[in-house]
Amino acid sequence: MNKCTLILCLFLSLIAEANASPAITTMKISDGTYVMSAVDYGTNIGVISTKKGVVVIDPMPGKALLPELAKQINDLTQSQVRFVLNTHNHEDHTGGNEFFVGEGAQQLNSSDAIAEIDSILVNSHTPKDQIFFLPKENVVFTGDVFDTSWHPTFYSGGIKGFDDAIDKILALGDEQTLIVPGHGQPADKAALRKFRKDTHDWVTRVKVLHQQGLSISEMKQHPDIQSILQRFNTEQRAEFIPDRAFQRFLERTVTLIETH
């Protein structure tokens, strides 16, 4: 059994007690620290008990489920959410901000005021991605810099910004660090290194085919492109990427190659 499998098994063995709503899943990392997710969005939501109160990272379970999310957090931590942090400003990571602020929470731009959480600013998925590290728990929340359920989306910083972000994540903790992506199953550093290699292989192959004059439609049918794309399908889903999303991924990769 490899290290990634061991970490995933350990993580799943810490699953919290069954939820009242099957639409929201909860995984326990340690006492007072959880990862929650809603089936509609799949956004990984961090819940961390700190000395200053409960912090929620990226609250987006689907607006109709926000009261249920708040209730479950209260049941788990015996406290209401006091602070909200976001890895970036996309709706699937910020959609619950207004609800929790309305319930009395304070939205923070960084984790500087929270001693238990370190934040690192990078430019990869968006110009202002924030990576959050919990040293005591040895856990990193990456937002969409890393995604184990989708292809890479390094559209803001290009491959240089992507590499810088991955380097900063790898510099945190140790080889046992649990890495919570923006979406998908948590992973380890070996999986993150593979994600980076696969991303580089993707960009390199698209660049060669683009220089050879292949159109986007021709690239979509190329066996190398289809093979590399499937490396990101870590959950082995039968319908991993819709055709339009596949085409858009190629188009945006070509744009980045031409502009960076």
pLDDT at residue 5 tops 60: no
Q: What is the mean pLDDT of residues 232-246?
A: 93
The H or E element that residue 149 is part of is none
Q: What is the mean pLDDT of residues 211-234?
A: 97
Q: What percent of the chain has pLDDT over 70?
A: 92
Residue 81 has what pLDDT? 98
Enumerate domains of the chain plus CATH numbers: 3-194 (3.60.15.10)
Q: Which pLDDT band holds residue 21 (cuts at 50, 70, 90)?
A: low
| Mean pLDDT of the chain, nearest integer | 92
74 with 66: CB under 8 angstroms?
Answer: no
64 or 159: whose pLDDT is higher? 159
64 or 255: whose pLDDT is higher? 255
For 68-113, the DSSP string reads HHHHHHHHHHSS-EEEEE-SS--HHHHTTHHHHHHTT-EE-SSSTT
pLDDT digits (tens, 9 = 90+) for 82-127: 999 999 999 999 999 999 999 999 999 999 999 999 999 999 999 9
